[in-house]
Structure 1
Amino acid sequence: MLFASTMANARGCLQEGKRVARRMLNQRRTKVVLALCLLLALWQCFRALMDDFGPVPWAPSLLHTPGVPCPARANSSVWFNERYEAAAGLLLTGAAQELSADVVQWWLTLQGPMNGVQLQAIIRQLFSVLRAPTGDVLDPPRCRTCAVVGNSGRLKGSSHGLLIDAHDWVLRMNRAKVAGFELDVGTRTTHHFMYPESAVNLGPGVHLVLVPFKPLDLQWVTSAFSTGEVTRTYVRVKQFIKADRNKVLILSPAFLKYIHDKWTQHHGRYPSTGFTALLFALHTCQQVSVFGFGADSEGNWHHYWEENHGAGAFRRTRVHDADVEFSIIERLADEGRILFYK
Structure 2
Amino acid sequence: MEQMKMTLKIAKIHKTWVFRLLLVVVPFFGYYFTQDMFLQSQISSHDKVLCERKYTAKKLNALEANFTINTQLFLKLEDFFWRKFPYGLALPYGVNGSEPVLLKVLAFIAKYEMPEQIQRLTCRTCAVIGNGFTMKNSSLGDTINKYDLVIRLNDAPIRGFEQDVGNKTTIRLFYPESASTKSVDENNPDTLMVLVPFKRIDISWLKELLYDEKRVTKGFWKPVPQVWVGNVGQIRILHPHYLIETAVKLLKIPLKLPPKSKQKPVHPTTGILAVLMALNYCDVVHIAGFGYPKTADHKVPIHYYGSNTMKSMKDSFHDLTKEALALRKLEEVGAIQYLHPHS
Match of 2:194 in 1: 209
Partner Cα distance (1:107, 1:319) in 2: 15
Match of 1:181 in 2: 161
Partner Cα distance (1:218, 1:131) in 2: 15
Q: CA deviation at 1:270?
A: 1.0
SS of the residue 1:294 aligns to: coil
Q: CA deviation at 1:258?
A: 2.4
Q: Cα distance 1:328–1:63, how it changes in 2: closer, same or farther (>3 A)?
A: farther
Match of 2:127 in 1: 147
Q: CA deviation at 1:63?
A: 3.3
2:127–2:150 Cα contact (<8 Å) kept: yes
Normalization by structure 1: what TM-score?
0.70
Q: Cα distance 1:306–1:83, how it changes in 2: closer, same or farther (>3 A)?
A: farther
Find 2:327's aligned residue among 300, 307, 329: 329
Instruction: Say if 2:107 is the partner of 1:124.
Output: no
Match of 1:305 in 2: 305
Structure 1 residues 268-306: Cα deviation after superposition (integer angstroms, max 9, x where no partner): 611001111111111111111101000259964611112
Unaligned runs of 5+ in 2: 1-43, 255-264
The alignment of Structure 1 onto Structure 2 pairs a total of residues equal to 273
Instruction: Say if 2:274 is the partner of 1:277.
Output: yes
Match of 1:92 in 2: 75
Match of 2:90 in 1: 104
2:62–2:333 Cα contact (<8 Å) kept: no
| Counterpart code for 2:281 | T
Q: CA deviation at 1:140?
A: 5.0
Find 1:260's aligned residue among 247, 262, 265: 247
Match of 2:179 in 1: 199
Which structure has the bigger radius of gyration?
2
Partner Cα distance (2:223, 2:174) in 1: 15
Q: CA deviation at 1:183?
A: 1.2
1:189–1:206 Cα contact (<8 Å) kept: yes
1:130–1:245 Cα contact (<8 Å) kept: yes
SS of the residue 2:67 aligns to: coil
Find 1:237's aligned residue among 220, 224, 232: 224
Partner Cα distance (1:172, 1:105) in 2: 22
Q: Cα distance 1:132–1:180, how it changes in 2: closer, same or farther (>3 A)?
A: closer
1:206–1:244 Cα contact (<8 Å) kept: no
2:131–2:289 Cα contact (<8 Å) kept: yes
Match of 2:203 in 1: 218
Q: Cα distance 1:90–1:276, how it changes in 2: closer, same or farther (>3 A)?
A: same
Partner Cα distance (1:188, 1:176) in 2: 13
Q: CA deviation at 1:317?
A: 2.2
1:63–1:145 Cα contact (<8 Å) kept: no
SS of the residue 2:151 aligns to: strand
Match of 1:28 in 2: none
Partner Cα distance (2:70, 2:266) in 1: 24
Q: CA deviation at 1:80?
A: 2.2
Q: Cα distance 1:71–1:63, how it changes in 2: closer, same or farther (>3 A)?
A: farther
| Counterpart code for 1:311 | M
2:126–2:147 Cα contact (<8 Å) kept: yes
Q: CA deviation at 1:164?
A: 0.9
Select between 133-142 and 143-152 the one with higher mean Cα deviation: 133-142
SS of the residue 1:236 aligns to: coil
Match of 2:63 in 1: 80
1:107–1:214 Cα contact (<8 Å) kept: no
Q: CA deviation at 1:311?
A: 2.8
SS of the residue 2:167 aligns to: coil
1:229–1:239 Cα contact (<8 Å) kept: no
Partner Cα distance (1:83, 1:153) in 2: 33
2:92–2:240 Cα contact (<8 Å) kept: no
SS of the residue 2:163 aligns to: helix
Normalization by structure 2: what TM-score?
0.70
2:194–2:236 Cα contact (<8 Å) kept: yes
Partner Cα distance (1:78, 1:143) in 2: 19
| Counterpart code for 1:269 | V
1:212–1:218 Cα contact (<8 Å) kept: yes
Unaligned runs of 5+ in 1: 1-58, 110-116
Structure 1 residues 235-269: Cα deviation after superposition (integer angstroms, max 9, x where no partner): 43111122222221101234312211111111761
Structure 1 residues 10-46: Cα deviation after superposition (integer angstroms, max 9, x where no partner): xxxxxxxxxxxxxxxxxxxxxxxxxxxxxxxxxxxxx
Structure 1 residues 165-199: Cα deviation after superposition (integer angstroms, max 9, x where no partner): 11111111112011111111111111111001110
SS of the residue 2:89 aligns to: helix
Match of 1:248 in 2: 235
2:55–2:284 Cα contact (<8 Å) kept: no
2:171–2:194 Cα contact (<8 Å) kept: yes
